[in-house]
Amino acid sequence: MWTRSVNYPLALVLLVGPILFFACGNKQKQADSALIALLPREQLPGQLSAAAKTDIYRDVDLYKYIDGGADLYLECGFEEVAAGEYTTRSGESIFANLYRMADPDAAFGIFSLTRRVDFRPYAAGTMGARNDYQIVFCKGVYFIDLQTTSSDSAISRDMEEICRRIDQGIQAPRDFPDVLRLLPRPGFIPHSEVYVRGPLGLNSRHFVADQNIYALNDSTPAALAYYHLREGGHPALIMVVAYPDSVEARRVFGALESHYESKAQPDDSASAVFKKLPTRLTYSSNGELEVVIRRGTILSTVFDVIPLEDPGSAPSADSSSPGK
Amino acid sequence: MSMDRKRFLKLIGVSAVAAGLPGCGPGAGGGTSGGSRLPRRMREPVQLPGAKMAVVKGAGPEAITRRAIEELGGIGMFVSKGDKVLVKPNIGWDRVPAQAATTNPEVLAAVVKLCFEAGAGQVLVLDNTISDSRRCYVRSGIKKAAEELGAQALYLEDYNFRSVNVGGELIREWPVYKDALEVDRIINVPIAKHHSLSRLSIGMKNFYGLMGGRRNQLHQDVHLSIAEMTAFFAPTLTVVDAVRILTANGPSGGSLADVKQCDTVIASVDPVAADARAAGLFGIDPAEIRYLVIGSQMGLGSLDPATVETREIQL
User: What is the CA angle A158-B251-B285, rounded to 5?
Assistant: 130
The span from the CA of A229 to the CA of A304, in Å, is 9
Q: Which CATH architecture has domain A38-169?
A: 3-Layer(aba) Sandwich (3.40)
Region at A179 (left for phi over 0; alpha for psi -120 to 50; beta for the rest) = alpha
Closest CA to B273 of B72, B43, B25: B72
CB contact under 8 A, A17 and B130: no
Report chain B residues whose CB lies below 8 A from the CB of A67. Answer: 92, 130, 215-216, 251-252
Instruction: Assess contact for B195 and B5: CB atoms under 8 A.
Output: no
C-alpha count within 13 angstroms, C-beta hemisphere, residue A189: 23
The span from the CA of B69 to the CA of B54, in Å, is 7
The span from the CA of A97 to the CA of A95, in Å, is 7
Global pTM value: 0.83
Provide Rg for chain B, Cα atoms. 19
pLDDT per residue, tens digit, chain B (315 aa), is 333 433 333 333 333 333 345 567 644 333 344 556 788 888 888 989 899 999 999 999 999 999 999 999 999 999 999 999 999 999 999 899 999 999 999 999 999 999 999 999 999 999 999 888 998 999 999 999 999 999 999 999 989 999 999 999 999 999 999 999 999 999 999 999 999 899 999 999 999 999 999 898 898 899 999 999 999 999 999 999 999 999 988 998 888 888 999 999 999 999 999 999 999 999 999 999 999 999 999 999 999 999 999 999 999
Count, residues in chain B: 315
The span from the CA of A222 to the CA of A300, in Å, is 10
Of A86-100, A228-242, A251-265, B14-28, the range with the lowest mean pLDDT is B14-28
The span from the CA of B25 to the CA of B36, in Å, is 12
Q: Tell me the one-letter amino acid at A198.
A: G
Q: Which member of B4, B130, B256 has the closest CB to residue A67?
A: B130
CB contact under 8 A, B2 and A17: no
- The one-character DSSP state at A288 is E
Q: Which member of A13, A59, A69 has the closest CB to residue B196?
A: A69
The span from the CA of A204 to the CA of A106, in Å, is 16
Count, residues in chain A: 324
The distance of B226 to chain A (nearest Cα, Å) reads 13
Instruction: Assess contact for B174 and B73: CB atoms under 8 A.
Output: no
Instruction: Assess contact for B146 and B125: CB atoms under 8 A.
Output: yes
Q: Which residue(s) pair with B187 in the sheet? A: B87, B237
Note whether B251 contacts A: Cβ–Cβ < 8 A.
yes
The distance of B62 to chain A (nearest Cα, Å) reads 24
CB contact under 8 A, A69 and B255: no
Residue B247 CB coordination number (10 Å): 22
User: Which candidate in B136, B216, B222, B259 is best for mutational testing of the A interface (most A CBs within 10 A)?
Assistant: B216
The distance of A288 to chain B (nearest Cα, Å) reads 14
The span from the CA of B10 to the CA of B30, in Å, is 27
* Range(s) of chain A covered by CATH 3.40.1000: 38-169
Distances (CA, A) of B113 to A202, A253, A274, B109: 43, 56, 53, 6
The C-alpha torsion from B11 through B15 and B20 to B24, rounded to 10°, is -150
DSSP string, B127-189: ---SS-HHHHHHHTSHHHHHHHTT-EEPPP-GGGEEEEE---SSBSEEEEEHHHHS-SEEEEE
DSSP string, B49-106: SS-SEEEEESS-HHHHHHHHHHHTT-GGGT--TT-EEEEEE---SS--GGG-SS--HH
pLDDT tens sequence across A13-62: 566 655 555 444 444 443 455 888 899 988 888 778 888 789 999 999 99
For B101, name the nearest residue in chain A, comparing CA atoms only.
Answer: A66
The span from the CA of B265 to the CA of B282, in Å, is 14
Closest CA to A54 of A41, A73, A43: A41
CB contact under 8 A, A116 and B288: no
C-alpha count within 13 angstroms, C-beta hemisphere, residue B265: 30
Note whether B155 contacts A: Cβ–Cβ < 8 A.
no
Closest CA to B230 of B264, B199, B202: B202
DSSP string, A2-35: --SS--HHHHHHHHHHHHHHHHHHHHHHHHHHHH
A304 backbone dihedrals φ, ψ, rounded to 5°:
-95, 70
The span from the CA of B2 to the CA of B117, in Å, is 65
Q: Tell me the one-letter amino acid at B81.
A: K
Report chain B residues whose CB lies below 8 A from the CB of A17. Answer: 12
pLDDT of res. B36: 60
Q: Which member of A21, A60, A116 has the closest CB to residue B216?
A: A60
The answer, yes or no, to whether residue A307 has pLDDT greater than 80, is no
Average pLDDT over residues A183-187: 94
C-alpha count within 13 angstroms, C-beta hemisphere, residue A54: 25
SS3 state at B299: coil
pLDDT tens sequence across A199-242: 999 998 888 998 999 999 999 999 999 999 877 778 899 999 99
User: What domains, with CATH codes, occur in chain B?
Assistant: 50-314 (3.40.50.11440)
